[in-house]
Amino acid sequence: MSEKLNPWESQLTNLKKVSDIMNLDPSVYEVVSKPMRILQVSLPIRMDDGSIKSFEGFRIHHNTARGPCKGGIRYFPSLELDTEKALGAWMTWKNAVVNLPYGGAKGGINCDPKKLSQGELERLTRAYAAAIADFVGIDLDIPAPDVGTTSQIMAWFADEYYKISRRILPGVITAKPIGLGGSLGRTAATGRGCYFTAVEASRTYDIPIKGASVSVQGYGNAAYYSALNFHQAGAKLVAASDTRGGVYNKNGIDPVKLVEHKAKTRSVVGFPGCETFSSTDPLTVDCDILVPAALENMITLENVDDVKAKLIVEAANGPTTPGADRVLDEKRIICLPDILANAGGVTVSYFEWVQNRMGYYWTEEEVDQRLEKVMKTAFKDVYDYSKKYDVNLRYGAYALALDRVAEAMRLRGWI
């Protein structure tokens, strides 16, 4: 069966459905079904061979009702505006689910960072920071990393912004290196947050983590730290993949050795003692817990019938299409939705912003304790909303977020 795979449309489908279930004032949907601002920029830079190449960049502010907007920067070839719009909207919902005083944003550059030298990456990042400088600020829009960007890229962005604004304002961007005002615990936060929500789901739905088999799709930041946390809790990583392929071992894979192998060879493929998998095989392999941690539209009507996990923890944004979601419900597979499960990253980014503004820094233990508390509370709030409206956890999360955003819009007189 074919289905539309446009993340923005998927986001709107879920939003409309939940607004109807909640019998929400139609003016709420009217406002949030369009991003507030879209900035498109062209970024000409000098390449190492002396030629000039112009890259396309975006920054999208989806909604600022609850506060300055916050969301990552993605460097990706064939970046689509509709994907960026969806990612911006998901940030609005995610920030509301974990009750951060933020709206939602997203941005990125149409480029393949793997094909750029360090010098080209730095010039491109500085050009992007300069081009969107009026759109960002500690009380306006606070970017962070996403797919294809790193803490070094955040550092170049911060430095360029300081020069333009003639102020040292570390809170303008998060997930910076520790030496530039980054927060302890930020690098591992998305995976750690996925694990904390899985612990709550494990208790609620009686799906043990100790001894569970875990499969992850992708093996970047979100996937690795999710796999590591499950491994440390006594679960067994059985499969992982990246763009070049995947690996499988039913007896378990050491997540640390796998990440070392990837750092050396640039892929999980070829890790000793494993069978060879495709990039998508981890989605349908026999396992208890599945962590899609790559990109959007991975669990679709094409493969959802083959998904065998009992619990899905969406580390990626938008990995499941609305059509596949319905099938997961029919199969009674519990899915912890992206706007809840992967909110640990933005939560510790918020902690970084708070620490930057105070000029006082917390220990890793303090960060971890606060993160656990936020994720536990968010799970309970989402679960309660799913019971209130008798819907799955994704719709419960949307309902919670819509309520909070609608309240702010009402109080500000927007609706």
**How many chain residues touch ligand NAD (CB under 6 A)?**
23
Q: Is 396 in the site for ligand NAD (CB under 6 A)?
A: no
Q: Is 297 in the site for ligand NAD (CB under 6 A)?
A: no
Q: Is 300 in the site for ligand NAD (CB under 6 A)?
A: no
Residue 170 in tokens? 């570390």
DSSP strand pairing (245-248 vs 275-277): antiparallel
- Cβ 366 to ligand NAD shortest distance, Å: 20
Among 97, 316, 367, 401, contact with ligand NAD (rule: CB under 6 A): 316
> What x/- string results for residues 364 through 393 when contact with ligand NAD is judged by CB under 6 A?
------------------------------
Q: State the amino acid at position 169 in one-letter form.
A: L
Q: State the amino acid at position 334 in one-letter form.
A: I
Measured CA to CA, the distance from residue 124 to residue 201 in angstroms comes to 42
Q: Is 68 in the site for ligand NAD (CB under 6 A)?
A: no
To the query of whether residue 106 is one of the catalytic residues in this protein, the response is yes
Q: Is 105 in the site for ligand NAD (CB under 6 A)?
A: no
Measured CA to CA, the distance from residue 357 to residue 367 in angstroms comes to 16
- Cβ 28 to ligand NAD shortest distance, Å: 25
CB 116 within 8 A of CB 74: no
Measured CA to CA, the distance from residue 156 to residue 120 in angstroms comes to 12
Among 103, 108, 220, 255, contact with ligand NAD (rule: CB under 6 A): 220
Among 127, 153, 209, 294, contact with ligand NAD (rule: CB under 6 A): 294
> What x/- string results for residues 249 through 268 when contact with ligand NAD is judged by CB under 6 A?
--------------------
Q: Is 64 in the site for ligand NAD (CB under 6 A)?
A: no
Among 69, 132, 147, 367, contact with ligand NAD (rule: CB under 6 A): 147
- The residue number whose beta carbon is nearest to ligand NAD equals 220
Q: Is 323 in the site for ligand NAD (CB under 6 A)?
A: no
**E-state strands within 235-324:** 236-242, 245-248, 275-277, 289-292, 311-313
Among 222, 285, 397, 409, contact with ligand NAD (rule: CB under 6 A): 222
- Cβ 294 to ligand NAD shortest distance, Å: 3
CB 344 within 8 A of CB 192: yes
> Which residues share a beta bridge with 245?
242
Measured CA to CA, the distance from residue 195 to residue 229 in angstroms comes to 6
- Cβ 322 to ligand NAD shortest distance, Å: 17
Measured CA to CA, the distance from residue 106 to residue 93 in angstroms comes to 13
Q: Is 111 helix (H, G, I), strand (E, B) or coil?
A: coil
- Cβ 265 to ligand NAD shortest distance, Å: 12
Which among 94, 106, 236, 310 is annotated as catalytic? 106
- Whose Cβ is closer to ligand NAD: residue 181's or residue 218's? 218
Q: How many CA atoms lie within 13 A of 311 on its CB side?
A: 25
Among 279, 297, 321, 347, contact with ligand NAD (rule: CB under 6 A): 279
Q: How many CA atoms lie within 13 A of 119 on its CB side?
A: 5
Nearest to 41 by CA among 109, 117, 143: 109
Q: What residues contact 219, with CB distance under 8 A and at least 6 apart?
A: 227, 240, 241, 242, 258, 259, 262, 268, 293
| Residues engaged in binding ligand NAD (CB under 6 A) | 146-148, 190, 217-223, 241-243, 279, 293-295, 315-317, 342, 345
